[in-house]
Structure 1
Amino acid sequence: MNPSSGGWINKHFTHLQQHVLDQHFTEEHFYLQLQQTGFIYAHSTKTLSYSHPLKFKWTLEEKTKINLFDALAYVYFSTFPKATKIDFIEETVKFYELLEKESIWKIKFSFFKSKPEETLEKILQHRIQINESYIQKNFSHLITNALLFIDVLAFREYLTHKKHPKTYLTELESLITNVVILAFQKKTIKDNYENLVIKLLESSLRYHKIQPQPKSFDELNFEGFSVHFEKKYILDLASITIYSDEEIEKKEYAFIEKLGNELGFSTDEVDENIAQMLQFLKEHKSEISYFNYSNSIQHFYKNTNRMVKVLIMRNKNRLLKEILESKELVVLLSKSTHKDLSEEEKHKVKEQLLDICKTIPSLAIFILPGGSVLLPILIKFIPQLLPSSFNENRIEKP
């Protein structure tokens, strides 16, 4: 079975039926099994329905796609045990069509008159790749790919209450965002790149945008999320966020314990959950991209610096020509070499540079969702392109 070729759903379904659906897992056991694949931790090292993953040379994306499909199927057939495969596929397609209408990042699907299973295959492919960009490929999938499980939770809500899941999705994403930000704030050593993490989180959200000021823990409302799936998922996201620097301090553990207790878990259950996460990371840490570097955020920043510099140097003549044609932008950039710009001036520089990037295809990355993360790096390099007369303090290298 090749998850990247058409027809994989029909070929896979019999295996799914035998190894997952016919097992009649409880929700707790199913979530534990899915957790152990790595899907919840944003890195599927194996799949739920194939017990011997080494036989299949599947990519991370392919394993993630299979796990997403299996989780959606488990939720559907747990709700409608006598339904057919085609019932499930058609209902899942309807669900994703509803989600697409509400997404803040519109991806238009054009599937013409495809068969339902072909349509779902294409939707799942888009769903896995929807937030893929240079940014995510050079940073951990700590947050972006982990949010795929929101699809499963929203599908369950949709099937259970027979209503549009927009409100549910917005509230869940908002709560998760808040919890992740609060988890980062518990770190003793504050990272200079924390704002990049928040920007990356923002670019991965589909149904709401991050609020300027997150709520305090006491202001968060967990009452609307009482299902085991939901509570465990929120706890797991917070745990993996705190562990991102490869250790859990007392202050961080206290936050996880408080969160777990608020969600209805005992301290022993919180400890067991952390132990499960640590065991998974111990076994698979070397395979997971965001643990391959001592500071994955700093690695992202350095990698991006190099990438942006290459882009600028390759397009410097055209970029400089466009900049020099904008008198106001030249004045502001020149001023920035010896004096801090006001917030209004910084905004003008940002807007005008974005307009220039729109005219240069190679710089289109800066206008994509999440591309604003790169703008400060672009702005840092721009003054070096200006003639020395614009920067009196610049010392030319021999």
Structure 2
Amino acid sequence: MQINPSINGWIEKFLNQYGTDVSDYTTDESFFLACQKSGLIYGYVVYYHLETELEDSKWDTEEKMKVGFLATLFALYKTKKEADYQLFIEDLFQFYNIVSKGNFSFLNIVLPYSNTYQKLESIINERLQTNDNIVTKNFTHMVTNSMLYIDILAFEYYLNYKTINLDFFKNLERKCLALIMFSLNVKKHKSEYDIMLLKMFENSLRYSKVSKINNNEIIDIVFEGSRSELESLYLYEIAHMTLLSDGVVYESEQAFLTEFTLKLGLNKNNQNTGYELVEFINKYKKNLPFYNLNHPVKQFYTNTQDNIAKLVSRNKTRLLKELSESKELVKLLGKSTQNELSFEEKKKVKKQLLDICKSIPSLTIFLLPGGGLLLPILIKFIPQLLPSAFNENLKD
């Protein structure tokens, strides 16, 4: 039974099919190690905590993140409580229901007549939207999703204490930002990339807007309050990711990490987190948003044909409606399949097509600098993927 994480019902289907195969772990350290291997912490999922193989070759990056996020939450639940996925769904929804009382925006979209599974699908969709910009909402793999792991830590807190509040999220985000700032100050060689890295993390904040933090207070903020072993491991990983942004951890930086490990109360075995991070980066670096700051259009271009085909397919109803209201554009597109358009005609096609892209949020990638270069490929897919009635209009 094929699972499509972009269609309603995927959570129930995934749990019915793979729920018993989701791993549980004997220690927090082994769970965290599996989270590193999964890639969720680094914003690029490659593993789903499953004892069996999962066919995900047709999923895009966001779809893999959705399933990876859900599987990680369930693996944590099985490690901390029990293996019943129906109880897990009830507890997870109750967790987000409590969170919503803090007026968090992501539950406002949940429809009252949806069942629990559908409501959780809406929540997870929104959890992966880490930026208000319409383009990054549709291409979430361009944005750092490392802060998504804060939900895992918050769910752990909820399972332990049966309560959660806004302060938990705010405080942990503040700790992470303070730690990134401190780690950047420790770095031997700073670059423009490091400034961009900080901005990416700031953009991934969901609950708090962090103003300038006094340098003297930075490291104290990191150690405020109590924390679980999973939180300590995550804070270590945040520091290591920041120091490794240029591909090298220098001797002075390693000395800081060693001291930081002791202050967090982590034992020597926990330091294998460093090895896992380096191994994961070496294997998947070209795909990691955390280590890749190329322009979104360049990133999109990497898998251009597939990406544009998906965009046209997912928006074909809206595209057909817009095109039906632009007879001149339809006529020119039809002519382009038979003959070369003049310079003026090409300008008209480009202008009118960009106007349509403005009205369809998912197509705003074509409005970015350089996005116009992708328009010929978009034009190529329009006749192929839209209904036959439209194709007949193209020929007329």
TM exceeds 0.5? yes
Partner Cα separation in structure 1 for residue 51 and residue 35 of structure 2: 12
Q: Where do 1:271-350 residues align within 5 Å?
A: 272-291=272-291, 296=293, 299=294
Q: CA separation of 1:33/1:164 partners in 2, compared to 1, >3 Å: closer, same or farther?
A: closer
Partner Cα separation in structure 1 for residue 139 and residue 200 of structure 2: 11
Partner Cα separation in structure 2 for residue 37 and residue 80 of structure 1: 21
Corresponding residue for residue 35 of structure 2:
34
Assess if the C-alpha contact under 8 Å between 2:243 and 2:249 holds in 1.
yes
Corresponding residue for residue 58 of structure 1:
59
Assess if the C-alpha contact under 8 Å between 2:243 and 2:253 holds in 1.
yes
**Greater Cα offset, 59-68 or 163-172:** 163-172
Q: CA deviation at 1:218?
A: 4.6
Corresponding residue for residue 13 of structure 2:
11
Q: CA deviation at 1:239?
A: 1.0
Q: CA deviation at 1:207?
A: 2.2
3-state DSSP of counterpart to 2:42: coil
Q: CA deviation at 1:79?
A: 4.1
Q: CA separation of 1:236/1:132 partners in 2, compared to 1, >3 Å: closer, same or farther?
A: farther
Q: CA deviation at 1:277?
A: 1.0
- In the alignment of these two chains, the number of paired residues is 300
Corresponding residue for residue 204 of structure 2:
204
Partner Cα separation in structure 2 for residue 302 and residue 34 of structure 1: 30
3-state DSSP of counterpart to 1:244: coil
Corresponding residue for residue 262 of structure 1:
263
Partner Cα separation in structure 2 for residue 206 and residue 242 of structure 1: 24
Q: CA separation of 1:51/1:141 partners in 2, compared to 1, >3 Å: closer, same or farther?
A: farther
**Greater Cα offset, 112-121 or 10-19:** 10-19
3-state DSSP of counterpart to 1:102: coil
Q: CA separation of 1:53/1:287 partners in 2, compared to 1, >3 Å: closer, same or farther?
A: farther
Partner Cα separation in structure 2 for residue 202 and residue 27 of structure 1: 28
Over residues 43-100 of structure 1, what are the superposed CA-to-partner deviations in whole Å (9 max), with x where a residue is unaligned? 1123222653566322221121112112222333444427x43332233223223334
Partner Cα separation in structure 2 for residue 153 and residue 290 of structure 1: 20
AA in 1 matched with 2:279: Q
Q: CA separation of 1:44/1:167 partners in 2, compared to 1, >3 Å: closer, same or farther?
A: same
Assess if the C-alpha contact under 8 Å between 2:62 and 2:140 holds in 1.
no
Q: CA separation of 1:243/1:53 partners in 2, compared to 1, >3 Å: closer, same or farther?
A: farther
Q: CA separation of 1:301/1:258 partners in 2, compared to 1, >3 Å: closer, same or farther?
A: farther
Corresponding residue for residue 166 of structure 1:
166
Q: CA deviation at 1:102?
A: 3.0
3-state DSSP of counterpart to 1:174: helix
Q: CA deviation at 1:124?
A: 0.7
Assess if the C-alpha contact under 8 Å between 1:42 and 1:145 holds in 2.
yes
AA in 2 matched with 1:29: S
Corresponding residue for residue 246 of structure 1:
247
Partner Cα separation in structure 2 for residue 103 and residue 261 of structure 1: 38
Q: CA deviation at 1:288?
A: 2.6
Partner Cα separation in structure 2 for residue 301 and residue 6 of structure 1: 28
Corresponding residue for residue 220 of structure 2:
219
Assess if the C-alpha contact under 8 Å between 2:66 and 2:124 holds in 1.
yes
**Greater Cα offset, 212-221 or 6-15:** 212-221
Q: CA separation of 1:256/1:136 partners in 2, compared to 1, >3 Å: closer, same or farther?
A: farther
Assess if the C-alpha contact under 8 Å between 1:47 and 1:67 holds in 2.
yes
3-state DSSP of counterpart to 2:225: coil
Corresponding residue for residue 119 of structure 1:
119
Q: CA deviation at 1:260?
A: 1.3
Q: CA separation of 1:140/1:274 partners in 2, compared to 1, >3 Å: closer, same or farther?
A: farther
Q: CA deviation at 1:26?
A: 2.9
Give the gaps of 5 or more residues in structure 1: 304-360, 366-398
Partner Cα separation in structure 1 for residue 229 and residue 60 of structure 2: 30
Q: CA deviation at 1:225?
A: 4.2
Q: Where do 1:26-105 residues align within 5 Å?
A: 26-49=27-50, 51-53=52-54, 56-81=57-82, 84-102=84-102
Over residues 175-214 of structure 1, what are the superposed CA-to-partner deviations in whole Å (9 max), with x where a residue is unaligned? 1110011112222333346554434322321222213124
Partner Cα separation in structure 2 for residue 135 and residue 203 of structure 1: 10
Q: CA separation of 1:16/1:158 partners in 2, compared to 1, >3 Å: closer, same or farther?
A: same
Corresponding residue for residue 378 of structure 1:
none
Superposition TM-score, scaled by structure 1 size: 0.65
Corresponding residue for residue 312 of structure 2:
none
Corresponding residue for residue 22 of structure 2:
20
Q: CA deviation at 1:220?
A: 3.2
Partner Cα separation in structure 2 for residue 87 and residue 40 of structure 1: 25
3-state DSSP of counterpart to 1:232: helix
Partner Cα separation in structure 2 for residue 170 and residue 90 of structure 1: 25
Q: CA deviation at 1:115?
A: 0.9
Partner Cα separation in structure 1 for residue 69 and residue 31 of structure 2: 13
Partner Cα separation in structure 2 for residue 179 and residue 122 of structure 1: 31
3-state DSSP of counterpart to 1:45: coil
Q: CA separation of 1:75/1:53 partners in 2, compared to 1, >3 Å: closer, same or farther?
A: closer
Q: CA deviation at 1:105?
A: 5.9
Assess if the C-alpha contact under 8 Å between 1:39 and 1:64 holds in 2.
yes
Q: CA deviation at 1:119?
A: 0.9
Q: CA separation of 1:91/1:7 partners in 2, compared to 1, >3 Å: closer, same or farther?
A: same
